Homo-oligomer: A and B are copies of this chain.
Amino acid sequence: QVTGPSGEGTDAVVILEKTPFQEEKVSDLLKKHTKLELQMCNDIYSTYHLYPPPELSEIKTTVVYPATEKHLQKYLRQEVHLIRETWEDYQNITLPFLQSQSFSIQWVYNILEKKAEADRIIHENPDPCNGFVLVPDFKWNQNQLDDLYLIALVRCRQVKSLRDLTAEHLPLLRNILQEGKEAVAKRFGVPGSQLRIYLHYQPSYYHLHVHFTALGYDAPGSSVERAHLLADVIDNLATDSAYYQKRALTFALRADELLFKKFQEAGRV
């Protein structure tokens, strides 16, 4: 709580983030005027605490003020639980929930129709069924390859998620895997063996898309409870066209999410 202009207590959200080292400033960090405190010394190994001058230890600070109850909720630590969704759960809980929500995916259509971001397109396959558009993800500023992040958006509009996929989508998925790798190698020089290529379940929007991230980048959402490797998805569908209409899928939900409440109401949590 901080004191507002009116003098009464008003809530604020303050976010503090340590930023990565900048390579060109590391030599400054190691100069003599930096305070160094020896902690431990054993043979050739030693550890220190280094206390850098303020200008070399910037902290990124974000302030929301005045903050509403919603802002506070968003940033308070929330309990997260795993759901093991059977196909029946999907049909009885998840799908009705998705249909009741009117998520707008106009921004996806704008990209597909080149009404937006047309200059950002890295690769496109124009086929209306088996085609897609590859664009940099908003989270990637394209300044360095370390956190490379691209998204392939499919052209067909009927596929909401992994749950809708069958063997009929294999040509589309194979196009994304093959052409996506080639396009990234050509434009950014990153070979296919250094790309993590995967789908999310649950996705954050229900128009099928595939994530391409640098293998060395610990990308948010690349952990086993959310990510499904495209190569595995292809093999599963090739073995059994109805794989994703049979199998239970695991995902995490925050306890304050509406879908979590739906699973609770159904006695599935």
Interface residues of A (CB under 8 A from B): 14, 16, 18, 21, 26, 29-30, 34-36, 44-55, 57-67, 79-84, 191, 193-196, 198, 215-216, 218, 222-225, 227-229, 231-232, 235, 247-248, 250, 252, 269
In the complex, which residues of chain B have a beta carbon less than 8 angstroms from the beta carbon of A14?
30
B66 in contact with A59 (CB, 8 Å): no
Docked pose: A58 CA to B14 CA in angstroms: 21
Docked pose: A26 CA to B15 CA in angstroms: 11
Other than the given A196-B224, A222-B224, A232-B250, 8 more pairs (CB < 8 A) read A14-B30, A16-B21, A47-B60, A47-B62, A49-B60, A51-B59, A223-B223, A224-B224
Given A52-B54, A231-B84, CB of A46 within 8 Å of CB of B26? no
CB distance from A156 to the nearest CB of B (A): 25
In the complex, which residues of chain B have a beta carbon less than 8 angstroms from the beta carbon of A196?
82, 223-225
B45 in contact with A49 (CB, 8 Å): no
B63 in contact with A46 (CB, 8 Å): yes
B224 in contact with A198 (CB, 8 Å): yes
Docked pose: A247 CA to B50 CA in angstroms: 49
A66 in contact with B44 (CB, 8 Å): yes
A216 in contact with B80 (CB, 8 Å): yes
Nearest to A214 among chain B residues (CB) is: B80
In the complex, which residues of chain B have a beta carbon less than 8 angstroms from the beta carbon of A67?
44
B52 in contact with A59 (CB, 8 Å): yes
In the complex, which residues of chain B have a beta carbon less than 8 angstroms from the beta carbon of A232?
250
In the complex, which residues of chain B have a beta carbon less than 8 angstroms from the beta carbon of A51?
54-55, 57-59
In the complex, which residues of chain B have a beta carbon less than 8 angstroms from the beta carbon of A48?
61-63
Docked pose: A58 CA to B47 CA in angstroms: 13
CB distance from A238 to the nearest CB of B (A): 11
B215 in contact with A225 (CB, 8 Å): yes
Given A29-B59, A49-B61, CB of A215 within 8 Å of CB of B80? yes
In the complex, which residues of chain B have a beta carbon less than 8 angstroms from the beta carbon of A35?
54
